[in-house]
Amino acid sequence: MKILAIIMGLFLAVHSCQESTPPSNQSLPTQRDVNRSMEDINRQMALEEDAVIEGYAERRGWEMTKTGTGLRYMIYDSSGEGDKAREGQVATLKYKVSLMDGEEVYSSENDGPRSFMIGQDNVESGLHEAVTYLKLGDKAQIILPSHLAHGLTGDNNKIPPRSTVIYDLELIGLK
C-alpha cells in the first residue's frame, strides 16, 4: 500500500510539473511572423481601398491616371502654361477637400489658398506628388488613398483615420 501511495505521489508530482511548464518559444510567434502578418493585413486593406477608389471614380465617369503610389489624378482643365511644377518650388493652390461620402471638409473659399514647398513642407505626401503633374493654371481632380493622405490617424480635426481624400484643385501660383 505504501508503494502504491509513493507511485501515485510521484505520478501526480510529474504530471503537475508538466502542466505548469510554460510553452516553449517554438509555439509563440516571432517578431518576424508578427511583421509578416501585419504586412499581409495592410496589403489586403490597401487592395480593398484601391477597389473602392476605382469604383468611386468609375461611378463619376472620371478617367483618371493611377500612379505607382496609388494616387489617381485627372487634369480636367489643362489650359496651364509653362513647365510642370517640380520639387523645391512653392506651389499655391485653390482647393476643395472632400471625403468619399461627399462631405466637404476644407476649401480655399473658407480657409484661403494653400502654399507649400513641393517635396519639403508638411502636407499630405500625395499632394506633393500630385502637383508635380500640373502646370500653372491647371485644374485637376486628385484622389489620395489614406496612406498618401492622413493615414491611420486622420488629421485630428475633420478627416477621420484611414480616410481616402479627394481634392479638386487649381495650381494658381508657382515660384
What is d(CA 93, CA 90) in angstroms, rounded to the nearest whole number?
10
DSSP character at residue 158 = S
User: Does residue 95 lie in a domain region?
Assistant: yes
Q: Which pLDDT score is estimated for 121?
A: 85
User: Does residue 44 lie in a domain region?
Assistant: yes
DSSP character at residue 98 = E
Among the listed residues 90, 80, 84, 64, the one whose alpha carbon sits nearest the alpha carbon of residue 167: 64
User: Does residue 14 lie in a domain region?
Assistant: no
What is d(CA 124, CA 158) in angstroms, rounded to the nearest whole number?
14
Which CATH number does the domain housing residue 151 bear? 3.10.50.40
Q: Which pLDDT score is estimated for 81?
A: 87
- pTM beyond 0.85: no
In the chain, beta strands by DSSP E:
65-66, 72-77, 81-84, 90-99, 104-107, 114-117, 135-136, 139-144, 165-174
DSSP character at residue 29 = P
What's the total number of domains in the chain? 1
pLDDT in tens, 57-103: 999 999 999 999 999 999 999 988 889 999 999 999 999 999 999 99
Domain that holds residue 53: 38-174
User: Does residue 22 lie in a domain region?
Assistant: no
User: Does residue 119 lie in a domain region?
Assistant: yes
pLDDT in tens, 53-65: 999 999 999 999 9
pLDDT, the chain, mean: 88
How does strand 135-136 pair with strand 114-117? unpaired
